[in-house]
């Protein structure tokens, strides 16, 4: 990945991400990327739950209905556990942002 200098001391990589020099630690960037990934997975799970619920309402076959119920239980469990993990990651990232801002203000 190539980095080019932008105005005002910012740097932009070829993917279009712009950041201030020293503005965020690599740990914070990794944490934010992880939050984005988990959030996308939560959206995917929510979509799958919606689709499965719609199928369940329309399903006439008892065997397939039982299967959909098991799938919904699995999705629901994943949604709950990922939600809790995401909350922890968000709290950690917010703390890191707070520390970064305080350091910047003190400089």
Burial group, residue 73, by CB count within 10 angstroms (0-12, 13-18, 19+) = exposed
Q: Is the pTM of this model over 0.95?
A: no
Q: Kindly give, in sequence order, each residue whose CB lies less than 8 Å from that of residue 100, ignoring residues fewer than 6 positions away.
A: 23, 24, 25, 28
Please write the tens of the pLDDT for every residue from 5-39.
Answer: 444 444 444 344 444 544 678 888 999 999 999 99
Nearest Cα neighbor of 101 from 31, 11, 28 is: 28
pLDDT digits 0-9 by tens, 47-105:
999 999 999 999 999 999 999 999 999 999 988 888 887 888 899 899 989 888 888 88
Q: What letter would DSSP give residue 8?
A: G
């Amino acid at each position: 990945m190539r980095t080019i200098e932008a105005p005002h001391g910012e740097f932009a990589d070829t993917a279009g991400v712009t950041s201030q020099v020293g503005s965020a630690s690599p740990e914070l960037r990794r944490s934010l990327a992880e939050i984005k990934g988990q959030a996308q997975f939560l959206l995917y799970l929510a979509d799958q739950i919606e689709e499965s619920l719609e199928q369940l309402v329309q399903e006439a076959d008892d065997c397939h209905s039982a299967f959909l119920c098991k799938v919904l239980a699995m999705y629901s469990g994943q949604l709950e556990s990922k939600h809790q993990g995401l909350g922890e990651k968000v709290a950690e990232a917010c703390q890191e942002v707070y520390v970064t801002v305080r350091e910047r203000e003190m400089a």
